[in-house]
Amino acid sequence: MANVRLILLEDVENLGLAGAEVSVAPGYARNYLLPRGLAAKATAGTLRLLAARQEKIQQRRQEELAAAQALAAKLAEVELSIAAQASEDDQLFGSVGARAIAEKLAESGYEVEHQKIKLDEPIKQLGSYDVEIKLHHDVNATVKVWVVRA
């Protein structure tokens, strides 16, 4: 099946930045990109619209980057302590995942979406962990997470 050519109106993770022309599967375009207003069909009118919005897009990118850098600087100082029940050999009864870390960050006053917290696998043992948070495609922060016995 032939791909559809679109122009991105917003930055899309793992696809491209606003203004880029991309070729995607028809279902992805029809069910995700077009209904959310993230992309438009590649036409002359869309190109004119994008050229008019280019300055706003660049300004918003700069603001998002500055905000992400400021949040990363604050998060570098943060240490979280998550209490969990564990066996005598320090294995957790369950695990600590991205949602639990996001909730603890929210309690500390830092609003971070759980999708931005990058864990290879859930934490299943007591101890200290450095957890990476992808705040922006150019900015990552690391938070120290202590998993302690409840």
pLDDT of residue 122: 94
Question: Residues in the chain with pLDDT < 70?
Answer: 1
The sign of the torsion formed by the CA atoms of 29, 135, 113, 62 equals negative
Residues 43 and 79 in one domain: no
pLDDT of residue 20: 87
pLDDT of residue 44: 85
d(CA 146, CA 150): 12
State which residues form the domain around 134. Answer: 73-149
- Which CATH number do you get for residue 85? 3.10.430.100
Task: For residue 138, give every residue at least 6 positions away whose Cβ sits within 8 Å of its Cβ, in sequence order, or none.
Answer: 65, 68
Residues 128 and 97 in one domain: yes
Residues belonging to the chain: 150
pLDDT of residue 112: 92
Distances (CA, A) of 91 to 83, 84, 104, 148: 13, 10, 21, 11
Where among 66, 90, 105 does a domain terminate? 66
| Helix (H/G/I), strand (E/B), else coil: 26 | helix
- Which CATH number do you get for residue 58? 3.40.5.10
Residues 150 and 85: beta-carbon distance below 8 Å? yes
Residues 24 and 87 in one domain: no
Where among 66, 86, 103 does a domain terminate? 66
pLDDT of residue 1: 67
Structure tokens at 114: 């759980």
109: left (phi over 0), alpha (psi -120 to 50) or beta: left
Q: Whole-model pTM?
A: 0.76
